[in-house]
Amino acid sequence: MPSKNKLSLSVQYPDPRLQDSVPRPQLRRWVQAALLAPAELTIRFVDADEGRALNRDYRGKDYATNVLTFAYSEDQAEGDDGVTQADIILCTDVLQREAEEQGKTLVEHAAHLVVHGVLHAQGYDHEDDEEATEMENLEIEILGSLGWPNPYADR
């Protein structure tokens, strides 16, 4: 895994349900494990209404999704400072439902979605099979380094 990169992390809990079970220090550890370069990130936990509105307004999809990543550093001009800048939105309602459906703990699933969002912020995607395989393998490696099991393994 990469060495520690400089990180400026803001965490917002407008939906406070996960504030105690997924605190800022834990989030910072997960983010740091997934960073490949310095970053300025905000992680925001929202309810289904806000998650749905953001997904509808910015992606044209009228439903709440588990994680949305708004990467800003991709839009910077040549010669930028190499700092990844992004907002990562986690929908508490979807996160809780998926964890239960997948037989995972809430914290385990939150770790996976944070790592997933941080990788998106750094330009990784899963639009085709090759990209998806690369991203999933990175997620498995990063989560393994944090002591979590393969999130894609059948349970």
The maximal CA–CA distance of the chain, rounded, in angstroms, is 46
Q: What is the mean pLDDT of the chain?
A: 92
- Contact residues for 48 (Cβ-Cβ < 8 A; gap 6+): 64, 91, 92, 93, 94
Length of the chain, please?
155
Domains (range + CATH), the chain:
7-145 (3.40.390.30)
Q: How far apart are CA 101 and CA 90, in angstroms?
A: 17
Tens of pLDDT, residues 21-37: 999 999 999 999 999 99
Looking only at the bridges linking them, the beta strands covering 84-91 and 67-71 are: antiparallel
Residues 87-136 pLDDT 10s? 999 999 999 999 999 999 999 999 999 999 999 999 999 989 999 999 99
Residue 76 has pLDDT above 90, yes or no: no
Cα dist. 49→6, 14, 93 in Å?
33, 12, 9
